[in-house]
Amino acid sequence: KEALEKTAAECKKRNKDVEVKIVVLDLNEKDSLASKAAEALTVFGKPVDVLINNGGVSTRVEARDCSISLDEYLLQVDFLSHVALTKELLGTMGENKNARIINIGSIASKVGLPVRSAYCAAKHALLGFMDSLRIECILQNHGHIHILNVILGSTNTPIPLSSVVGVSGSTIKTFGEEDKNVASGLNAEFVAERILSVSHHKTVNECWLAKGKELLVLYIAQYIPQTGFRLLLRGMAKQY
């Protein structure tokens, strides 16, 4: 909550007329998500205009050593929680001509990465779900609800520190180390500005934001899969 309050203060600093209210939730507490969505609707007494599915955690453990409980934890936090919140709020967006659902994915939404199998699974799943939902909205005459999937390259955030290596009951063991690729990644504020800009273009369903090498690998993996796989394998071998 402290970080959210800091962000709220920054928003007010930039625009003294803005009103910011905070609803705190835990994406891993699936039974609380419906009530939290309902609470969000009462904050300003009107439907949500923009839902940004951004919360999540990564992993740093090989698939063979990744427990089923850790797989379930990642799928809940990075996939099922976003699906739950989207479903709870989707029905209120029907009359809002500027409704937007923005999903923050990553390169892991498109390709497999070592020591991140559960993370990749969750990101792939969210991308597929939202692509399907977009078609359903259009077929049900709710095509004005803009669903944007963002495929994001390495971005300088603290996510490696909180990457999970194990789960035992309510105890979560984190990686707790820096990642030089993440540290040298895109500036988070730059990314936020680009996402906001792209979200105003309703004809854009998917946006890729990454630095040169990562963006090149994404393009090759998309259009020349076997070559992309070899390039990815070569790059990962240097870090593994």
Give the CATH number for residue 128.
Answer: 3.40.50.720
Determine the pLDDT at residue 205. Answer: 98
Residue 13 lies in a domain: no
Contacts of 101 (CB under 8 A, 6+ apart): 50, 51, 53, 86, 90, 93, 130, 145, 146, 147, 148
214 falls within a domain: no
Which band of pLDDT confidence, cut at 50, 70 and 90, is reported for residue 173? Answer: low
What band does 191 get if pLDDT is binned at 50, 70 and 90?
Answer: very high
- Is residue 181 a part of any domain in this protein? yes
Our answer to whether residue 119 is catalytic in this structure is yes
- Find, among 148, 155, 36, 137, the residue nearest to 96 by Cα: 137
Predicted confidence at residue 169, as pLDDT, reads: 62
Span 48-92, pLDDT tens digits: 999 999 999 998 889 999 899 999 999 999 999 999 999 999 999
Strands (E), 97-232: 100-104, 146-152, 164-168, 171-174, 206-209
> Cα separation of 185 and 196, whole Å?
19
In-domain check, residue 225: no
Token digits for 171?
A: 């105890």
* For residues 166-190, average pLDDT: 74
| pLDDT score of 182 | 76
Torsion of CA 77, 82, 83, 88, to 10 degrees: 120
Catalytic residue among 119, 219, 223, 240: 119
| Tally of domains within the chain | 1
Q: Considering the domain boundaries, does residue 16 fall inside one?
A: no
Residue 83 resides in a domain: yes
* Cβ-proximal residues to 222 (8 Å cutoff; 6+ apart), any chain: 110, 228
Q: Structural domain of residue 183, as residue ranges?
A: 46-209
73 DSSP 8-state letter: H
Query: What integer pLDDT is reported at residue 240 of this predicted model?
Result: 61
Within a domain: 29: no
Instruction: Between 138 and 165, name the one with better pLDDT.
Output: 138
- Assign 237 a pLDDT band (cuts: 50, 70, 90): confident
pLDDT at 9: 93
For residue 177, is pLDDT > 80? no
| Residue pLDDT, tens place only, 29-48 | 999 999 999 999 999 998 99
Whether 180 is covered by a domain: the verdict is yes
> Which pLDDT tens digit goes with each residue over 209-230?
999 989 999 999 999 999 999 9
